[in-house]
Every structure is written in structure tokens, then in C-alpha cells.
Amino acid sequence: MPNEKLPILGSMHTKKDGIPNPATAATPHSRRRPVLHRFLACFAILYGLLVAIKTTQNMSQRFFFNKKGPFEKPLMGRAAEKYFLEVPNEQSCIQASRDYTAAPHRAGSDRDLQTAKDFLTFLQSELGIKAPSETPIFPAGSIHSRHATLMIPKAPVPYAWIDTYYPLMNTPLERNLQTLDADGKVLWEADLEEHAEAEDPEAHKFSNSVPTFHGLSKGADVTGRLIYANYGLIEDYDALVEQGVNFTGAIVLTRYGGNFRGIKVQRAQELGAAGVLIYSDVRDDGTVTVQNGYKPYPHGPARNPKAVQRGSVQFLSMYPGDPTTPGTPAYENATRTEGLNKPQIPSLPISQENGEKLLKLAKDGWNGTQLVDERVMPIWNTMAIIPGYIKDEVVMLGNHRDEIVFPKPGFVMGAADPTSGTASIHETIRGFGALMKKGWKPLRTILIASWDAEEYGLIGSTEWGEDFSEFVDKYVVAYLNLDGSASGSRFHVQASPSLAHLTYSAALDVPHPTEENKTLWDATQDSGKYFGAREDGNAVLDAEAVAVYEASINAQDELGVGVLGSGSDYTIFLQRIGVASMNHGFSSTPNDAVYHYHSVYDSELWEETYADPGFHRHVAVAKHLGLVALRLAGSVVLPLNTTHYAYELESYLDKVEALALAQSTEIEVDLSPLRNSVHSLQAASQALDYEKFVAERELKKILKKWHKKGDRVRKLRRKARKTYCKMLKKVFGKECPSHHHHSEEPHQPPRHQEDVSQGPKIVSPGGEVARDLHHHSYHPVSERREQWQERREIMQGLALYFGVELPTPPPSSGEHTCGKSAGRPHFPLPKILKAIKRIRAVNQKLVAFERGFISEDGLPSREWYKHLGVAPGRWLGYGATTLPALTESITLDKNSTLAKHEAERLQTLVDKLVETIRV
């Protein structure tokens, strides 16, 4: 019977008639030989099957990442995106916002250091980084600080740290503003405190502790007549000069809007003014005014008349960052200059209420006093990395966490700027952490930065960028910035043209934050809900203010993506180093509740009541930032659209030609050679587009073909195993060991996650260990072996992207791969390495496109800015000017010779870029 246990061979023999002999019966010698033959034949078959099974099992174990069961494709691509989008949520975001607004963190303060540490702790917790015994805070320029960044392309696991820089900043001491009669008698004195009402309890409690102040403003006591200069635009000043107005010794009064506040002060200083006052004008509040029937905050959505906008008055268009170390990092022992980008005259921000009073008394004499404490102070950038398979291609994300106010401990504000952005990136990071816990590893390395001292003039990001400019130039493929994420109803994106389609497509994949059946991109057309509440139904609007607003939103491409000027932390990356960059978020429209920018009323109550009730916009921005980052970090070919960029260049050139024709003074410049070069760039970029497609397809084809052959081997192995198990059971009565005997073991993360709590040591240039950041040690390897390990990891990551498992370890570069070593299918290593090299070359060309607009000579009179494609306008600060050197030679300098020179300089860069990306 088949289920009966077989006797011991030789103890029982079967007669021809099937009747067994007794076990004790003697076996005739003539009958033993045929039985032995049958036994040997059976043994040979079993042995052969066993060898086949073991060979294929060894092949499986040697060739595939997952040694504990069948291969499962890790979270990558759309699967990772889908999982990520489920993580950011409103309640977590609200809590983060409340946590960060619950304490003051003006750059350089003790609380600022604490928020840097808090963010470090958050990164360690979410990214699975074990906190070292000593907090990793390193002075900029030290061995520890430098290696923390420079080791990123070699880092095997995530780690986080804090860099400390030492810029020049100031804090307010005392201020006053008075109007005087002819005898110097005080007629009226302004109340410079920002008194908050009790209906916003947090703002009310601490409003008297928050001086109204301009960062980097000069301390002085000045007296002079008052001159009103409207927005303080270059056109406003020029018009007054043409009218014969003499600014020497005067105090200039301007309204906020139209340009960066520092530019208003800069032009007044150049004209000889003694000081500047800047006020918030209700005319710039659109339809949301008391005149149009709305109550002022906190009783309604209109402007509180006592609200004051603080902020830096650095001459941003000259250069950002520490005033005393332009172009070099602000180390504690740095050699410093006088600081040409900080004002030499005082300025004060004042409220709507005080501004309106001044306009009525404009003919009287005025006296203003401001005393400041100006000194070198520490600031702290908090950084973290998530290593990818491709470690020498880095995607950066950044947000600043400092605020501009100067509170005593316990003060609450900064809910929109910067905390809304911090709360959003908080959710993005939580999404990355959740992916990592599921075994995700990005194809490219991700570097996260929490910048300090942005409000003083982009100082934290600028100093780090100047410190590591070579690293950024060599490794960073894109920079994604987030300032404030929610201060109104309209979603906006500004980006390098090469990132326009990526940001657009990502927004299409995120749901609208407040409306069903719409996307986040549809929110680019959203407006507020306040259109006037007058009984006659007619809302009053200031035509000039409307024109200024429309001009700010019209600088967009055909997709609706805006152009990057300055005013946030992307500046060093785009304008000086040439890294494709993005900035995004929700901002206010003329029909939104008035955003009390840099005011005590930028409070958590205002944010939760008017800016984003429920924090749906915060979360939508977090998801958009994460999707853009995942696609940059996870695509085989970088999703940079150079062809769109090349055609945008021609539209920039069209604008220049139109400006030249519109000048009252004839400008003679032939732009046709430059246009021809742009056409050549368009053709070269289209050829690169085809190369992108073919290079990725070729690698996919090779890997899929090899994987298909491996499938045949696996099927053969399974068939052989099945036969072997059947024979084993029949002959020996034994069951095969379970093929997945380990399947009930708890889930084990992939190898790159096993030591996620362990970080790399920092090694000094001399080779000795300078500091063990996270208790991890390296094993010395030869340079050749290290290079092969890097190539192997890149190969593994790219294969996983296509759903293919590679040998573990894959054949080394010196291993013979032409046969079927150890019974495994031919591994086409040379073909794969060649295909990867082709893709890497394509990606290098894509990254080089933005770099191609960097001129070492920089822009005329402001050489810190080196991008000839786009820059903050010389007299705008925030706003962008495309082809800036060429454009401003026509519009500002009105110089044909200079225009010809700039056209030739730009043409040289474009021609060189054509050769760089040529395939």
C-alpha cells in the first residue's frame, strides 16, 4: 500500500508473484544483483535531483536580495507616492503649528537654539536616527561641521546635525517718532507700540514686549522734513526727482508693497535722505477694508489699524546673507568687511494709523530716534540626510524656522511666516519616515534643511551655501523651498522652467484642499470670499494697488508657473550656484482676509480662523512638496524639462526686444545672433529628450530580459523540487523541508535599514577619527573596491525601480560573466554598466542646464548674483527680472554699448551650453 511504511532495504524481498518472503529468509546470491542495480539507479536519480535543487537554491540565495522568501518589489515609484500621501494629516499639522508658535524663536536667541534642537529631535525620531550621547552641534568651519556635509555622498545611513554660523545682526533698544514746529517744539509723538486687543489673547498678552523694528537698520537720531514717495519704487523716486524734489536731509515716507522694503531704503539713501518710514496702507488690502463694510481683526477680516510689518531692510538686490562676509561663510573667526548691503540711515516700520496721521502732517518737521544693538550673533541650521542608492545626486528640501519679532519668553506669533511652512514640512518628513519604516529607500539622497536667520536677509541658507558651494555645485540636482505655506486662498508655484512641468503634474495629483472633484492646481485660480459688504453693493478698490498686485502674478509661463526672483532661501542655490529650484504655497488675494505680515497679529488664532481653517491647505502643500521630492529622488532619468526651459528663453528674449522698442531713448542692439543660439539650444535639448527616452528604455530592456531568463530558471527549480519531494516521500517516507520555513518570522527590514540608528564617523583629513557622530565605524577598503560598491548600489537601485532583483552580491567588475557560473543565468554586467553610464551622462547634462547660465563675472554692480537667466530685479528685490543683465542695460542703464556686451556675454553662455548638453 502506498501509505505503508517501507521496510529496511534488504530485510524483505518480493517474489515474482508478489508474496513477500519472510524477513529472516536467506536471499539467494543469484537474486541480490538485480536489486542492487535498481537501488543504485534510484540513488543516482535522487542524488541528481538533490544536486539540481541545491544548485538552483544556491543560485536563488546568491542572486536575490530577499533570502527569506520570494522577491517582493520594495516601495518605489507610484506605490511609494500612494503610501506617502496617506500620511500627512490636519491634526498632526495643527499640533506642530501650535508647538512652534508657542515659543519665541528670533534668530540668535536662546529659544531659537532650542527650536533648532527640537527640530533635530524630530528628525531623529521620524527618520529612525539614534540620538548620540552628545548633541551634534558643530561650529561652522570645524572638521566636524565640514565632514557632516562633505561625507553625504558616502553615507550609508541617515544622520542629522546642527551647524552654527556667526553673522552680524542687530536688535532694537529704543525708538521714537515726533513732529516738531519751527522752534523744535514737539507737536505730536507717535505711539510705536503694536497694541493688540484682548480678543486675540496670545497677541494681547505679549504685544507690549514686541518692539516694532527693521532688521539691519541703522541706529541714529535724525531730524528733517517729510517727503511722501508712494511705494518707494524706482519710478516713484525718479518722478519726484524730475519734479525738483530734493531728498537731502529729508525723512522719506513710503507705503509697503511693489518692491522689497530694503530697496525703498536703499534708493532714499542714495538720494541723500536722512531716514525712512514705511507704513501699511489700507489701499493695498483689496476689498477687505472697513470702508467696504468689514470689521478690523480680531473682530473681522480687515486690517487692524495698529498692526505693524517688521522685516529686514538689507539691500537684497546687492547680495543676501551676512553683511560682513559677502561670498564667504560667516565663521566665528571670519575676516569681516563693513557690510555694504546694510543701510547707513535709520528706518522704522509704522502702522496704518500712524501712517495716515503722517500724511496729514507731511509739511511739518520730523524727528526720529532709533538705537540698536549691532553685534555678531550665533545662528543654527538643522540638517538631516536620507541616503539613497545614488548618493552623489542629492535632492534638497528647505524651510526657515526663525521669526522676525523680538519677544520676551512666552510670546506667540509667526503662525503664517514661517510656522505654516515649518508645519507643512513637518508632515512631509513624517511621510518620509513612514516610508522608511516600510523599507523604502530613495533612489537619490535627500537632504533636509531647517534654515535660521532668513528674516534678517536669507542668512542661514546663504552662509551654508557659500560654505559648501563646491559640494552644492557637484552634487545637488534640485532645491525645493517652502517659506510660508498658508496665508491665503490661492496656491502659487514659482520654479525654474525645467521644474515647471514636474510641479504642475504633482499638483494635479493632489486633491484640492477644500473642494471636491478638483485638484491642487485648480487652487491657482482660487480667490477669497470677501468681495465687499457695503449696503450699496459697490466695493471700493485702489486702481494702483490692483495694478501692483496683477503685475506680481503675471510673471508666469504658459502653465501658470511663476519666475523666481528672491526673498527666500532658494536664492543662493539658483542665483549664485545654478541649481534648479522651486518655491510654493498659498498666499492671499485682494479678496482674502488681510494677512498681518510680520505683525503680532500673525498669530495662531488668525491662522486657524482666517488663513486656513482646518489646516487643509497646510496638508496639501506638504503633499505637493513630498510628491515633487519623491519624483526627483525616485526617477531613473531626472524629471527636468530642458526643452521647456529653452523655449522660455526665447519668450524672455521677446520681452527684451519689446522693452528696447518701448524706450524713449533709442537702443541699438542686434539680438538675432543670440536668438539663433537659443534656437540651437532648443534643437540640442530636443535631441537630449530623445536620448533620455532611449537611455532609460535600454536599461529597462536589458534588466527585464535577464529577469525573464531568471524566471525560467526559477520555474525549472520549482519543477525539479516538486519531483524531488515526490521521490523523497515515496522512497524515504520523508517530507521536504518547507521552502519558506522562515515565513512566520517577523518582518525584517532591508539591509539598508538594519543599522538605521547608526551613523558614520567623521574622519579628519589626516585620517584619525575626529568625532563619532552616531557610534558607527567604517571598514577600510581600497579605492577601486569602494568605487565598485558605489556602482553596485546604483545598479541595485535602478534595477529595483524596474521591479528586477539583482544578484547579492552582483558579479564584481573583475568577475567573468560570459558563462553561466554556478548554474545561474548569464548576468550581462558589461551591458548594464554601459546602460547605467549612459543614463548617468544624461542626468549630468540635465543638471548642467541650469548651471550653464552661471557667469563667474556676475551681474553688473552686483557681482554676487551670477545667473544671467534670472535674478531679483535691481530695484525690485523680491520680483524677478529675466535675462537681468541684458534687460537692465536697456531699461535702467539705457546704454546701447552695454546692451551689446550683455547680449554677447549671454550668447557665449548659451553656445557653451549647447555643447554641454549635445548628445
CB 405 within 8 A of CB 210: yes
CB 513 within 8 A of CB 485: no
| C-alpha to C-alpha distance for 126 and 629, rounded to whole angstroms | 17
Q: Which whole-number Å values give the CA distances from 279 to 284, 308, 354, 472, 752, in the listed order?
A: 11, 7, 8, 39, 55
Beta-strand pair 365-376/311-312: unpaired
CB 642 within 8 A of CB 685: yes
Task: Reduce the secondary structure of 799-864 to three states and give it as a string.
Answer: HHHCCCCCCCCCCCCCCCCCCCHHHCCCCCHHHHHHHHHHHHHHHHHHHHHHHCCECCCCECCECC
User: Which of 175, 212, 181, 232 minimizes the C-alpha distance to 366?
Assistant: 181
| C-alpha to C-alpha distance for 836 and 830, rounded to whole angstroms | 10
126, 454, 463, 888: which is the annotated catalytic residue? 454
| C-alpha to C-alpha distance for 233 and 252, rounded to whole angstroms | 12
Tell the residue number behind the cell numbers 564584481, with chain if given.
812
Amino acid at 461: S
| C-alpha to C-alpha distance for 260 and 232, rounded to whole angstroms | 9
CB 156 within 8 A of CB 344: no
Does residue 454 have an active-site annotation?
yes
User: Which of 150, 170, 140, 468 minimizes the C-alpha distance to 334?
Assistant: 140
Tell the residue number behind the cell numbers 536697456, with chain if given.
890
| C-alpha to C-alpha distance for 820 and 606, rounded to whole angstroms | 69
| C-alpha to C-alpha distance for 442 and 388, rounded to whole angstroms | 5
CB 254 within 8 A of CB 234: no
User: Which of 38, 4, 2, 31 minimizes the C-alpha distance to 15?
Assistant: 31
Query: Counting every residue, how long is the chain?
Result: 919
Q: Which whole-number Å values give the CA distances from 106 to 114, 403, 404, 412, 455, in the listed order?
A: 11, 5, 6, 11, 9
CB atoms within 10 A of CB 730: 12
Written as one string, the DSSP assignment of 418-435 is: IIIHHHHHHHHHHHHHHH
For 227, the enclosing helix (H) or strand (E) is strand 220-228
| C-alpha to C-alpha distance for 918 and 570, rounded to whole angstroms | 28
| C-alpha to C-alpha distance for 75 and 71, rounded to whole angstroms | 13
Catalytic residues: 454
